[in-house]
């Protein structure tokens, strides 16, 4: 297999060169008028004037509860690169956030996700309602329990699997690795099971946390991604679901990579060849085909060579024969 892989690596550029590439699609980043963007940044800077580490040092007014402010700081750089980086703070927090002191009802005024993402929320909410968290922790558990909308970024924008994994697993582990956070949501008296102990059957447990997401095993198989976190009895334990050519990760964690590669090279699975993210997933029909074709060519070449030599020998023998 190893010889096959290095041969495959050598022949891959050739195969790629011969493969007709798919038409390039335009990147779907929504352009925003620079003047409008500057306006949004300026508006948000007014909030960061207090709600950031720098702001806390010299806030524009003194008549507020700054002890409380210490626990309400946000990072402008993280915010600006998040999915909501071009949304004004006050569109979610309401006009109450622009008056000082803010007033006691500010917290309750925040817009729910559905106010702006009606269609998406409609689809996701049904899955979420069926999840273990929504069932066992009704009312307490919301979209916001996992998604910090000040920092969250969609996978398509993050790009590399390691970074997507880091963000999405942190969502779960912020709670599942913290007794304090877990106890805020768990039924009274329930002890937090230690994540590494529960998954001790998974070899290299810690290294799996760096390369694969919790949701890969804890949501229904066969869908690109679902918000339905299943009961533990239905979690994935089968290694082959990921460690195989038909890896479920192709339609999940790697779906953006697969799409990008397909666009670039015009055939599926190439991402597994160039990056070999998943052991055992690197088999590819193109490689099998090209290895087979090369072997056949070699055989034909050897046969021709042999025939030529036999022919030449016979010819020479005839030459040498006295007339």
Closest CB to ligand HEC among residues 175, 271: 175
Burial class (CB in 10 A: 0-12, 13-18, 19+), 59: middle
Nearest C-alpha neighbor of 74 from the set 105, 50, 57, 91:
50
Q: Are 182 and 175 in contact (CB under 8 A)?
A: yes
CB closer to ligand HEC, 39 vs 65 = 65
Q: How far is the CB of 56 from ligand HEC (least distance, A)?
A: 9
Q: Tell which phi-psi region holds residue 73, choosing left (phi > 0), alpha (psi between -120 and 50) or beta.
A: beta
Q: Which is nearer to ligand HEC, 265 or 272 (CB)?
A: 272
Q: What are phi and psi of 57, to 5 degrees?
A: -70, -35
Q: Which is nearer to ligand HEC, 170 or 313 (CB)?
A: 170
Name the residue nearer to ligand HEC (CB basis): 16 or 195. Answer: 195
Smallest distance from ligand HEC to CB 247, Å: 7
How near is the Cβ of 251 to ligand HEC at its closest, in Å? 10
**Token code pair at residue 97:** 């956030």
Alpha-carbon Rg of the chain, whole angstroms? 29
What is the total residue count of the chain? Answer: 323
Residue 130 DSSP label = T
Which one, 96 or 266, has the nearer CB to ligand HEC? Answer: 96
Dmax of the chain from CA atoms? 123
Shortest Cβ 87–ligand HEC spacing (Å): 4
Q: At its nearest, how many Å lie between ligand HEC and the CB of residue 121? A: 4
CB of 304 to ligand HEC, least distance (A): 42
Residues 139 and 145: their CA atoms lie apart, in Å, by 11
Tell which residue, 28, 300, 298, has the closest CA to residue 157: 28
């Amino acid at each position: 297999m190893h010889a096959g892989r290095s041969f495959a690596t050598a022949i891959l550029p050739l195969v790629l060169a011969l493969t007709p590439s798919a038409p390039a699609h335009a990147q779907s980043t929504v352009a925003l008028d620079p003047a409008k963007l500057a306006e949004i940044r300026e508006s948000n800077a007014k909030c960061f004037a207090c709600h950031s580490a720098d702001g806390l040092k010299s806030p524009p007014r003194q008549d507020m509860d700054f002890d409380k402010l210490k626990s309400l700081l946000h990072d402008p750089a993280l915010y600006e690169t998040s999915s909501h980086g071009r949304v004004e703070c006050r569109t979610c927090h309401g006009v109450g956030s622009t008056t000082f002191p803010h007033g006691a009802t500010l917290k309750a005024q925040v817009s729910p996700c559905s106010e702006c993402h009606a269609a998406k929320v409609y689809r996701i909410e049904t899955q979420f309602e069926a999840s273990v968290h929504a069932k066992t922790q009704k009312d307490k558990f919301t979209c916001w329990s996992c998604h910090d909308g000040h920092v969250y970024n969609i996978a398509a924008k993050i790009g590399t699997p390691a970074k997507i994994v880091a963000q999405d697993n942190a969502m779960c582990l912020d709670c599942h690795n913290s007794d304090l956070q877990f106890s805020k949501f768990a039924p009274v008296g329930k002890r937090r099971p230690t994540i590494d102990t529960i998954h001790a059957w998974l070899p290299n447990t810690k290294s799996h946390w760096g390369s694969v997401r919790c949701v890969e095993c804890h949501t229904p198989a066969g869908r690109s991604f679902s918000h339905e976190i299943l009961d533990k009895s239905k979690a994935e334990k089968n290694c082959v679901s990921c460690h195989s050519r038909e890896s479920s990760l192709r339609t999940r964690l790697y779906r953006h990579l697969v799409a990008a590669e397909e666009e670039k090279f015009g055939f599926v699975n190439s991402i597994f060849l160039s990056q070999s993210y998943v052991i055992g997933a690197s088999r590819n029909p193109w490689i099998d085909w090209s290895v087979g074709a090369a072997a056949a060519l070699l055989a034909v070449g050897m046969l021709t060579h042999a025939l030529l030599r036999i022919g030449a020998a016979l010819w020479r023998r005839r030459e040498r024969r006295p007339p």
